[in-house]
């Protein structure tokens, strides 16, 4: 005679379903955000507070994810992602083949873009009005408001080029592999004004500074190589490098620049092949490297035989800062990564890479394999804008407008108790809020605001009380009212 197990009471059944729903939500969050292996999940208490559930529910959900091979528990450290969610068993189903618990209506919308991982932040910023619940504003994003950019000069340049038969015919082909010669000539002149004497033959045009770093990593490094990165630093660079199988070595970024003692230690013990650094307009702090620190960093690169990839993507949005590492070094051990997208049109994705002559051919081969040639019409239009003097005028107008926005945003932030780690300048401020900014970001996201929590900018993804503030997107008084309310809730 068989004995059936008694059916769970309604409250017990609801609790059981809750941990299944939470596990499904966390699994989808890991998959959609592309969370890299080794990332630490939120603590049990933090996750329970974030999702409004009992800590025992979180423990049960984490245990389920561990059983599915998605996460692993480390003694006295917490739970960590084991690998990509789409490769783990049980994706889309519970153990034993049972279908995943159905989420309540609207739950998918709320989990599509929780902005606490780099990929999710990028998706939310790019989706704009196409996402299910577009942000009213994005004080944490990495670009200028689109309405600030002048579209008419671009349109005029394109119309003129389309009337020229030769240009239109050239645009129908693949274009020059290195990039449009006229635009590279203009960039060489621009760099010469910054004391970087580089011929156009050592310049490659890229699909933004993001592709420039990708070309450097794919051309000059192999999986398993060590790369030094700044902490804090640009989160997309961390994702790019980690996904190529490179080992990231964090170097603290201070007021003078990167911690040189840490650079020296890593260089002696781990033999890194490359360091990614920003000499000016550092993302996210907005700071510059002091000249003395820059000279010592170049000396360490020479002594320990590593290259420096210098990220200068935001340079046009600030007044002249200190000399670039590439200018001091003469492009012997440095590669300069720049962008025109921030200044003119983010969607055009035009950047450049200035490299030592001995490395140009390897970089060009990687570019050809990755995407053949460059978009001829787009690059020629930008060359025409340079020749007409439109680019310097646009840059000057944007810097003036940004200065006004920065003053307003800094005043509003300080009124809410924010403390700036460095004197505010350029596009970004690195702000200490006094609370963990990951739950703060989630609360503000529910109100329609996108901020960038400090954990994004840490290659080790540690919790942080800092956030990156984009001055151009932090003008709405409604944001600061919601920020104050969310801050009080997190503090409580």
Is a pLDDT exceeding 80 seen at residue 151? no
The mean per-residue pLDDT over the stretch 378-396 comes to 84
Is a pLDDT exceeding 70 seen at residue 269? yes
Which candidate, 274, 303, 279, 301, places its Cα nearest to that of 291?
279
The separation between CA 296 and the C-alpha centre of its own chain, rounded to angstroms, equals 27
For 25, residues 6+ apart whose C-beta sits below 8 A from its C-beta are 51, 103, 107, 111
Q: How many CB atoms lie within 10 A of CB 66?
A: 14
pTM for this one?
0.74
pLDDT confidence band for 389 (50 / 70 / 90)? confident
Q: Minimum mean pLDDT among 79-93, 140-154, 268-282: which range?
A: 79-93
Q: Which residues pair with 78 in a beta bridge?
A: 74
Name the burial class of residue 83, with classes exposed (0-12), middle (13-18) and buried (19+) by CB atoms within 10 angstroms of its CB: middle
Q: Which residues pair with 307 in a beta bridge?
A: 274
- 189-243, pLDDT tens digit by residue? 989 988 999 999 999 998 888 889 999 999 999 999 999 999 999 998 998 898 8
- 283-305, pLDDT tens digit by residue? 999 999 999 999 999 999 999 99
Specify the higher pLDDT residue, 23 or 261. Answer: 261
Give the DSSP per-residue string, 414-447.
HHTT-EESS---SSEEEEE-SS-HHHHHHHHHHT
Long-range contact list for 170-174, CB < 8 A, 24+ apart? 170/376, 170/380, 171/376, 171/377, 171/380, 173/376, 174/372, 174/373, 174/376
pLDDT confidence band for 377 (50 / 70 / 90)? confident
For residue 336, what pLDDT is reported? 96
Is a pLDDT exceeding 60 seen at residue 179? yes
Long-range contact list for 404-410, CB < 8 A, 24+ apart? 405/471, 405/472, 405/474, 405/475, 406/471, 408/475, 409/469, 409/471, 409/474, 409/475, 410/471
For residue 433, what pLDDT is reported? 95
Is a pLDDT exceeding 70 seen at residue 117? no
- 405-425, pLDDT tens digit by residue? 999 999 999 999 999 999 998
For residue 83, what pLDDT is reported? 55
- 16-72, pLDDT tens digit by residue? 567 788 888 888 777 766 667 778 888 888 888 888 888 888 888 888 888 777 888
For 313, residues 6+ apart whose C-beta sits below 8 A from its C-beta are 209, 281, 283, 337, 338, 339, 342, 351
Which candidate, 362, 314, 323, places its Cα nearest to that of 468?
314
Q: Which single residue is written with the structure tokens 């300080």?
A: 414
For residue 332, what pLDDT is reported? 94
Query: What angle (nearest 5°) sits at the alpha carbon of residue 30, between those of residues 25 and 36?
Result: 165
Q: Between 437-446 and 477-491, two packed helices, what is the crossing angle to 10 degrees?
A: 130
- List phi, psi (to 5°) of 282: -60, 140
What does the CA dihedral 400, 406, 409, 414 come to, rounded to 10 degrees? Answer: -150
Q: Tell me which range, 48-57, 87-96, 307-316, is most confidently predicted by mean pLDDT.
A: 307-316
Structural domains of the chain, with CATH: 10-111 (1.10.10.10), 122-141+393-491 (3.90.1150.10), 152-388 (3.40.640.10)
For residue 255, what pLDDT is reported? 92
Q: Between 10-33 and 118-127, two packed helices, what is the crossing angle to 10 degrees?
A: 80
Strand order in the sheet with 452-453: 419-420, 428-432, 466-470, 452-453
Widest pairwise Cα distance in the chain: 92
Specify the higher pLDDT residue, 127 or 442. Answer: 442
- 438-461, pLDDT tens digit by residue? 889 888 888 888 899 998 999 988
In angstroms, the CA 348 to CA 375 distance is 9
Is a pLDDT exceeding 90 seen at residue 325? yes
In angstroms, the CA 388 to CA 398 distance is 18
Q: How many CB atoms lie within 10 A of CB 222?
A: 11
Give the DSSP per-residue string, 184-223.
HHHHHHHHHHTT----GGGEEEESHHHHHHHHHHHHH--T
pLDDT confidence band for 173 (50 / 70 / 90)? low
In angstroms, the CA 229 to CA 274 distance is 9
Distances (CA, A) of 433 to 48, 344, 463, 489: 22, 32, 13, 13
Q: Minimum mean pLDDT among 57-61, 267-271, 359-363, 461-465: which range?
A: 57-61
Is a pLDDT exceeding 90 seen at residue 145? no
**Mean pLDDT for all residues in the chain:** 81
For residue 112, what pLDDT is reported? 36
* Percent of the chain predicted with pLDDT > 70: 81
What does the CA dihedral 204, 208, 212, 215 come to, rounded to 10 degrees? Answer: -90
The mean per-residue pLDDT over the stretch 115-128 comes to 58
The mean per-residue pLDDT over the stretch 467-476 comes to 94
In angstroms, the CA 457 to CA 236 distance is 9
């Amino acid at each position: 005679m068989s004995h059936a197990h008694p059916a769970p009471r309604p409250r017990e059944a609801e609790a059981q379903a809750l941990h299944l729903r939470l596990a499904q939500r966390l699994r989808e969050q890991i998959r959609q955000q592309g969370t890299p292996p080794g990332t630490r999940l939120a603590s049990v208490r933090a996750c329970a507070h974030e999702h409004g559930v009992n800590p025992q529910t979180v423990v049960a959900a984490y245990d389920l994810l561990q059983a599915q091979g998605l996460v692993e528990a480390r003694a006295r450290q917490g739970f960590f992602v084991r690998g990509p969610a789409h490769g783990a068993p049980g994706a889309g189903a519970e153990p034993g083949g049972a279908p995943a618990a159905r989420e309540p209506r609207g739950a998918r919308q709320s989990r599509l873009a929780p902005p606490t991982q780099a990929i999710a932040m990028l998706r939310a910023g790019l989706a704009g009005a196409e996402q299910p619940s577009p942000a009213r504003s994005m004080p944490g994003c990495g670009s200028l408001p689109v309405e600030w950019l002048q579209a008419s000069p671009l349109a005029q340049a394109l119309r003129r080029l389309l009337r020229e038969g030769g240009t239109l015919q050239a645009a129908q082909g693949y274009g020059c592999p290195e990039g449009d010669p006229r635009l590279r000539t203009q960039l060489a002149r621009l760099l010469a004004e910054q004391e970087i004497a580089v011929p156009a033959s050592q310049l490659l045009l890229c699909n933004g500074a993001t592709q420039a770093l990708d070309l450097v990593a794919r051309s000059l490094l192999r999986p398993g190589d060590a790369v030094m990165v700044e902490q804090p630093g640009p989160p997309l660079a961390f994702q790019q490098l980690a996904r190529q199988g490179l080992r990231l070595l964090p170097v603290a970024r201070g007021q003078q620049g990167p911690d040189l003692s840490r650079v020296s230690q890593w260089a002696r013990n781990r033999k890194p092949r490359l360091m990614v650094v920003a000499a000016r307009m550092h993302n996210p702090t907005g700071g510059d490297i002091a000249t003395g620190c820059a000279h010592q960093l170049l000396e360490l690169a020479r002594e320990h035989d590593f290259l420096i990839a210098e990220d200068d993507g935001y340079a046009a949005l600030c007044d002249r800062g200190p000399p670039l590492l590439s200018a001091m070094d003469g492009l012997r051990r440095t590669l300069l990564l720049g962008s025109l997208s921030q200044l003119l049109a983010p969607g055009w994705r035009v950047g450049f890479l200035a490299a030592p002559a001995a490395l140009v051919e390897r970089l060009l081969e990687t570019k050809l394999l990755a995407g053949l040639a460059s978009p001829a019409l787009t690059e020629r239009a930008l060359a025409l804008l340079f020749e007409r003097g439109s680019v310097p005028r646009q840059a000057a107008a944007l810097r003036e407008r940004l200065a006004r926005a920065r003053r307003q945003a800094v005043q509003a932030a300080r009124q809410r108790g924010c403390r700036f780690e460095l004197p505010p300048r350029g596009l970004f401020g690195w702000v200490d809020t006094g609370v963990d900014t990951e739950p703060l970001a989630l609360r503000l996201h529910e109100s329609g605001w996108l901020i960038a929590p400090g954990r994004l900018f840490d290659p080790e993804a540690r919790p942080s009380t800092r956030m990156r503030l984009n001055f151009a997107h932090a003008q709405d008084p409604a944001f600061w009212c919601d920020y104050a309310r969310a801050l009080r809730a997190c503090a409580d």
